[in-house]
Amino acid sequence: MTQRTLVLLKPDAVQRGLVGEILGRIERKAGWSITALELRTLDRAILEQHYAEHVGKPFYQPLVDFMSSGPSVALIVTGERVVEGVRALVGPTDPIAAPPGSVRGDFGTVVRENLVHASDSEESAHREIKLFFPRLA
């Protein structure tokens, strides 16, 4: 089943020079393709919509601050079971719990600044693509 998902390479991935490594892992996955890619500093208004379900939680404001602190890479990845696959590729949010071979397992250092966002469902992917790439939704 071909799907599309949104992936964000967060400011820490850009700052640490890991964009090529992470994109390479996505590109090497058979059957997946990057169908949109943009480097930009994310607008707070978009981030507030993106993280709306977390409003009022103690990590919400620090997360929005971090995500708007520098450039990120937003991309759409298309392929078979790509939503589930990208989440496995990046690993769990906690880098200590993330297995070796996953992005967070290999490069993650802390939970809050965890290098990558990947949509958690087809519904989320559709909503997030519409938010970050409205012309391609």
Which residue is associated with the tokens 């880098």?
95
Tens digits of residue pLDDT in 23-70: 999 999 999 999 999 999 999 999 999 999 999 999 999 999 999 999
Phi first, then psi: give them for residue 119, nearest 5 degrees. -50, 140
How buried is 17 (Cβ within 10 angstroms: 0-12 exposed, 13-18 middle, 19+ buried)?
exposed
Fold of 2-136: Alpha-Beta Plaits (3.30.70)
pTM of the predicted model, to two decimals?
0.96
Tens digits of residue pLDDT in 85-126: 999 999 999 999 999 999 999 999 999 899 999 999 999 999
Residues 6+ positions from 55 with CB-CB distance below 8 Å: 48
Domain ranges of the chain: 2-136
pLDDT bucket at 1, cuts 50 / 70 / 90: confident
Reported as type and span, the H/E element at residue 88 is helix 82-90
126 is catalytic: no
Residue 73 is predicted with a pLDDT of 98
The one-letter code for the residue type at 120 is D
